[in-house]
A and B are shown apart, each in its own frame.
Chain A
Amino acid sequence: MALAEARNNIMQSKEGDKVISSVAMVVALISFGMLFLTLMMSFALYRFTAPVWPPAGMEKPSLLIPSISTFLIILSSLAYFSFEKKTAKGLIDKQGLMMTIILGTSFMVSQAIFWNQLKSHGIFVSSGIFASVMYAFTWIHAAHIVVALALLVWLYKKLSSPDKMTSVMVSSAGKFWHFLGIVWLIMFVTIFVL
């Protein structure tokens, strides 16, 4: 009975609310996108004007931990995808969202391990431009991940009493989460792999 009611509530979301939040979220993501685009532009400039990269005799860090981070964030996005699909059908998939949160948190842990590893190899924030890029860009991305995780936790609480805004919120939060995944992928390929 409770399930059917919840399903009803979710399915009732207004067309207008959906349009408004997707317009707003798309504009917001363009803003966030410009922030990361500016960072990537700076990186491209450093990269292409340096005769050798990484500069000043530095070595690239091992790909192991960044690859694990990439794996985790892709998994978390996939988990969220299935959660979104079920919500659209009117089902409350609390485990799916919990999975995303756990995978997202593990991504943060892998980032912390990565920063520690850099430090133990004697690469500090102030060790030249490559270290600056690695630290600062991952910091800025991680700060966004923390905000997004807080959003997901808040959404998790909201799922206990679904209303007609729930599916709108799920799709908005999803847009942000997938966006951060894409940003990480771009950073992983350009900064760590290439």
Chain B
Amino acid sequence: MAFFEQDIHDAPSTFLSKYVFSFDHKVIAKQFLWYGIAFLGIGGMMALMIRWTLAFPGEPFPIIGDILFPNSGGIVPPDTYAMLFTLHGTIMIFFAITPILIGAFGNFCIPLMIGARDMVFPTLNMLSFWLAVLSAVLLLASLFTPLGGAAGGWTSYPTLSTLIGSAGVGQTLWCLSLFVLGVSSTMGAVNYIATIITLRAPGMGYFDMPLTVWGLWLTAVLNAIFLPVLGAGLLLLTFDRVFGTTFFLAGAAATSGSGDPVLFQHVFWIFGHPEVYILILPAWGIVSDLLSFFSRKPAFGAKATALAMTSITILSTVVYGHHMYSTQMSPLLTQSFMMLTMVISIPSAVFFANWLGTLWKGSIRFQTPMLFSLGVVFVFGLGGLTGLYLATVSTDLYLHDTYFVVGHFHYTMAASVLLGGFAGTYFWFPKMYGRMMNERLGKIHFWISMVGLNGIFMGMMIIGHAGMHRRIYNPFVYEFLQNLIPLNRFITYSALVMGAGQLFFVWNFIYSMYKGPIATQNPWEVGTLDWTIPSPAPHYNFKEIPVVRCGPHELGNPNLVGKDFQYQTEELVKA
């Protein structure tokens, strides 16, 4: 419940205060969105270079290869290849998905959906964005250092990431960049948590919040708790590199007094496993809401969905060991981690069944945001199921570090989150810019993306199962992998198709911003608080703070007359 009502401030008048150093959560959300989309492009380009190298080893990368790699005649050199997969992972996770799902939708949706005029700490919010920019500058600067950027994988395990494995400033800048980004995200998390606890509109209990807000809230909790763990690891790694401490240097502690490289893996995954839920929870929340909105039915078991997401959040903190089965862990530990990991299937199955229950017998509107949400249901189902083989110790020992892992985590973290992000973008675009995106282009974008990414990630699972390892520059020096060249080419063609498909989105996004049809206040006919105000949302959001009288998914109520949904501000219509 709202502890107080925020004042209405005057609209900012100068360019700087309106678009650059803005305190308005909606402008900061758009800044994060643009930031994320830009990095999505960079990270995607890197992915294409990786794919090209795997499909056509020794052939120059088309068109821009000569400019980027002049010394090798346009061929991606081996050391650059290592940098590419390292930075592809880093950029996509921390600089594309995090800003889009958490930075953009978190900032945009939380105040609008809970009926607040802004975040509770607007200055902290602005600082959080500009720290993220600083962090991006640090990361991109690392590419221009003499030995190039970080090349130890996105996990940056020592000794690959200590001075022994990667000399030069690149890796150090990588550590600092992620540390700064961690500070930025923690600031955001503190803001989100405090906002949701203290600024919910009068009448809005926790279970009256849309599931989108639930997802973002749980994400913020995980961020606040676990980003500092990574921060500590990165600080120690930086000290190892810069000041000569020995935290992660291998050796027997008793004689040489050195540290323990495996410790970094523990620290990294204590953060890293919650991180995958940090990325997916906002997408789950968005999809849970959108499925209900476009099926014109209340979300099936909304409370159970919220509680299932909460229990996954809690469980996600105690399963990290399943990333480390091959580190000579005690079998007692591996079995405990295996069991705990398997337990996550139960709440996952609960909300997945709830998604299907929401769709069941709904009068589904196949508009673009709904298509993308259905896409999430499909790819997340696949990604989740293939996780079981990696949670099981006996199968994981074979599949560890193969492309099966790459396929699995791309299905869950990349495909689901990306589609969820697109669903959110198409859905809230009218509220952001006051115009609609083009439906036809949106649908083309969806089908190309869907076909493309299934081609890519399904293919990856097959080659992984056949034994192809990740992170190898030219796997085909091994005779048993040479038969996989055609399949690798298929994956690369799929990637090229998918990459090209994103041009439809970029065009649609930019064109619709200026020329799209003017959006009405509530184009999707849903009842949450964000749709009770004009499109685009005015800078103060709500002239009067709304009073909430019913839940967020009151659709298809047979007692309603003349329309099939009701706003959260209306009394629930009863027979």
Seen from chain A, the residues whose Cβ lies within 8 Å of a Cβ on chain B are 14-17, 19-20, 23-24, 27-28, 30-39, 41-42, 45-46, 49-52, 55-56, 58, 124-132, 135-136, 139-140
A147 to B121 CA separation, bound complex (whole angstroms): 20
Q: Determine which of B243, B256, B258 lies in contact with A125 in the assembled complex, contact meaning CB atoms within 8 Å.
A: B243
B226 surroundings in chain A (CB, below 8 A) = 34
**Which residues of chain A come closer than 8 Å to B225, judged between CB atoms?**
30-31, 34
Q: Is B391 an interface residue (CB 8 A)?
A: no
Whether A31 contacts B228 by the Cβ 8 Å rule is yes
List chain B residues, Cβ under 8 A from A32. Answer: 228
Q: A20–B198 contact, CB under 8 A?
A: yes
Judge whether B236 is part of the interface by a CB distance below 8 angstroms: yes
Q: Of B134-142, B247-255, B376-384, B438-446, which binds chain A?
A: B247-255
Q: Shortest CB–CB separation between residue A63 and chain B, in angstroms? A: 21
Q: Report how many A-B pairs have Cβ atoms within 8 Å.
A: 126
Cβ of B120 within 8 Å of any chain A Cβ, yes or no, is yes
Partner of A27, one of B190, B244, B247, B267: B190
A33 to B226 CA separation, bound complex (whole angstroms): 10
Question: Known interface pairs A27-B194, A136-B245. Does A56 touch B228 (Cβ–Cβ under 8 Å)?
Answer: no
Verify B253–A55 contact, CB threshold 8 A. yes
Q: Which residue of B lies closest to A130 (CB)?
A: B257
Known: A27-B189, A55-B253, A126-B245. 12 other contacts (CB 8 A): A14-B4, A20-B4, A24-B121, A24-B194, A27-B190, A30-B224, A30-B225, A33-B228, A34-B226, A128-B256, A132-B245, A136-B236
A15 → B minimal CB distance (Å): 7
Cβ B232 vs Cβ A50 within 8 A: no
A42 to B260 alpha-carbon distance, docked (Å): 9
A93 to B498, CA, bound (A): 66
**A-B contacts, 26 listed (Cβ < 8 Å):** A14-B4, A16-B4, A19-B198, A23-B194, A23-B197, A23-B198, A24-B194, A31-B228, A34-B225, A35-B229, A35-B231, A38-B228, A38-B270, A39-B236, A42-B263, A42-B267, A51-B254, A52-B254, A125-B239, A126-B244, A128-B256, A129-B259, A132-B245, A132-B246, A135-B243, A140-B235
User: Which residue from A19, A34, A45 sits with its C-beta under 8 Å from B260?
Assistant: A45
The chain A residue with its CB closest to the CB of B227 is A31
Task: Give Cα distance in the complex from A37 to B228, angstroms.
Answer: 9
CA distance A146 to B361 in the complex (A): 61
Q: Which of B3, B227, B258 is in CB contact (< 8 Å) with A129?
A: B258
Name the A residues within 8 Å of B194 (CB-CB).
20, 23-24, 27
Compute how far the CA of A130 lies from the CA of B224 in the bound complex, rounded to whole angstroms. 30
Asked if B233 is at the interface (CB within 8 A of a chain A CB), the reply is yes
A24 touches B120 (CB 8 A): yes
Q: Pick the contact of A15 from B3, B229, B236, B259 — CB < 8 Å?
A: B3
Q: What residues of A have a CB within 8 angstroms of the CB of B231 in the complex?
A: 35
Which of A14, A17, A23 has most chain B Cβ within 10 Å?
Answer: A23
B residues whose Cβ falls under 8 Å from a Cβ of A: 3-4, 120-121, 186, 189-191, 193-194, 197-198, 224-229, 231-233, 235-236, 239, 243-247, 253-260, 263, 266-267, 270
A15 nearest CB neighbor, chain B only: B3
Of the candidates B3, B239, B243, the one whose C-beta lies within 8 Å of that of A19 is B3
* Shortest Cβ gap from B368 to chain A (Å): 36
Tell whether, in the assembled complex, residue A27 and residue B193 are in contact, meaning their CB atoms are under 8 Å apart.
yes
Report chain B residues within 8 Å CB of A50. Answer: 253-254
Contact, CB under 8 Å: A31 / B224:
yes
Bound CA–CA A135/B256 (angstroms): 18
**Residues of chain B lying within 8 A (CB to CB) of residue A55:** 253-255, 257
Verify A56–B256 contact, CB threshold 8 A: yes
CA distance A33 to B229 in the complex (A): 9
B246 near A16: Cβ-Cβ < 8 Å: no
User: A128: shortest Cβ distance to chain B, in Å?
Assistant: 3
Name the B residues within 8 Å of A28 (CB-CB).
186, 190, 224
Q: Which of B121, B186, B267 makes the CB contact (< 8 A) with A31?
A: B186
Q: For B254, give the chain A residue with the smallest CB separation.
A: A51
Quick check: A45 and B263 within 8 Å, CB to CB? yes
Roughly how many angstroms separate A58 CA and B257 CA in the complex, as a whole number?
A: 9
Question: Cα distance A34–B266 when bound, in Å?
Answer: 14
The chain A residue sitting closest to B196, CB to CB, is A23
Chain A residues with Cβ under 8 A from B191's Cβ?
Answer: 24
| B267 and A38 contact, CB distance less than 8 A | yes
The complex places the Cα of A19 from the Cα of B2 at a distance, in Å, of 11
Which residues of chain A are near B186, meaning CB under 8 Å?
Answer: 28, 31
Q: In the complex the two chains form, is B254's CB within 8 Å of A17's CB? A: no
Query: Could you tell me the distance in whole angstroms from the C-beta of A60 to the nearest C-beta in chain B?
Result: 14
Q: How far is the CA of A37 from the CA of B411 in the complex (A)?
A: 33
> Which residues on B sit within 8 Å (CB–CB) of A38?
228-229, 232-233, 267, 270
Residues on B with C-beta less than 8 A from A15 are: 3
In the bound complex, what is the Cα–Cα distance between A14 and B6 (angstroms)?
13
Give the Cβ gap from B119 to chain A, nearest Cβ, in Å: 11
Q: Evaluate contact between A20 and B3: CB separation under 8 angstroms.
A: yes
Kindly name the residue among A17, A31, A41, A130 whose own CB sees the greatest number of chain B CB atoms within 10 A. Answer: A31
With the chains together, A67 CA to B486 CA distance in Å? 69
Least CB distance, B186 to chain A, in whole angstroms: 5
A126's partner among B227, B228, B246 (CB-CB below 8 A) is B246
A132 to B259, CA, bound (A): 9
Which residues of chain A are near B257, meaning CB under 8 Å? 55-56, 58, 127-130
User: How many Å from the CB of B348 to the closest CB on chain A?
Assistant: 26
Contact A42 B197 (CB under 8 A): no
- Does B227 contact A46, Cβ atoms closer than 8 Å? no
Is B190 a contact of A31 with CB atoms below 8 Å? yes
| In the A-B complex, the 8 residue pairs with the closest CB atoms | A128-B257, A56-B257, A126-B244, A16-B4, A132-B245, A38-B232, A16-B3, A35-B228
Please measure, in the bound complex, the distance between the C-alpha atom of A34 and the C-alpha atom of B226, giving whole angstroms: 7
Q: Closest chain B residue to A124 by CB distance?
A: B244
Measured CB to CB, the closest approach of chain B to A144, in angstroms, equals: 12
Q: Which residues of B contact A30 (CB under 8 A)?
A: 224-225
A45 to chain B, nearest CB (A): 6
Measured in the bound complex, the distance between the Cα atoms of B240 and A132 in whole Å is 9
**Residue from A15, A20, A135 with most neighbouring chain B CB atoms (10 Å):** A20
B260 to chain A: which residues have CB within 8 Å? 45-46, 49
Specify the chain A residue showing the minimal Cβ separation from B193: A27
CA distance A15 to B270 in the complex (A): 37
Asked if B246 and A129 make an inter-chain contact with CB atoms under 8 angstroms apart, the answer reads yes
> Contacts of A34 on B, CB cut-off 8 Å?
225-226, 228-229, 232
Q: Are B253 and A49 in contact (CB under 8 A)?
A: yes
Given contacts A20-B198, A31-B225, A42-B267, contact A128 B254 (CB under 8 A): no
A122–B248 Cα distance when bound, in Å, is 22
